[in-house]
A = this chain, B = another copy of it.
């Protein structure tokens, strides 16, 4: 039966949900009506036991002997991820990276709407990016409150990140996605995820330089003749 909610969900499981969502969407597009945990696992580059355990946290059930109905499972996962309701996000730091992310399809795909874009450069303020006018960062708080924004994205240089972070925290933002290469200090009530481009490259380089340090990396094998 699963746990039909309430209990704790392991973070690795949560991180895999968007992958399942994407892969199931792809199956649906190809008019596949049913998938087994093995097929789904294969398409996600993981193993079948993990898929079943993950799904069991949400009480989502397949049919024994058959597998999962693609449309139904996709709907369940999208509901879990809150893809049905639109979420506003603010982004501070409209350099090259901010521009690129603001224009990315990721926002729409994930059910997000840009509620505000901010910077401090007079040359950037007033510019229209992705249909939104860039405002001065001092206006961040009022926009967040007016539009009930609870998610912030930081794409500023490292030196400005902590300041922006505190503005967001003060404006009621409770989740921050940080692309600046710096560690943020936040109260425990605020959730931070850090994306570190340069760090990821360094990790790859480390394992190349120290192959003996690598474990059973690579799970994303198999699957090719899709």
Contacts and interface: CB of A to CB of B under 8 A. Distances in A.
B182 A106 contact: no
A69 B109 CA distance: 48
Nearest to A184: B220
Interface string A30-73: 00000000000001110000000000000000000000000000
A34 to B, nearest CB: 20
Interface residues of A, number: 85
A16 to B, nearest CB: 9
Contact of A201 (B112, B187, B207): B112
Contact of A177 (B19, B189, B201, B217): B201
Contact of A181 (B14, B43, B106): B106
Interface string A177-199: 10001111111111111011111
Contact of A192 (B104, B177, B220): B220
A79 to B, nearest CB: 10
Nearest to A183: B45
Interface string A1-25: 0000011111100110111011100
11 contacts: A7-B213, A8-B213, A18-B203, A22-B182, A80-B210, A81-B205, A106-B181, A112-B205, A183-B220, A193-B203, A195-B200
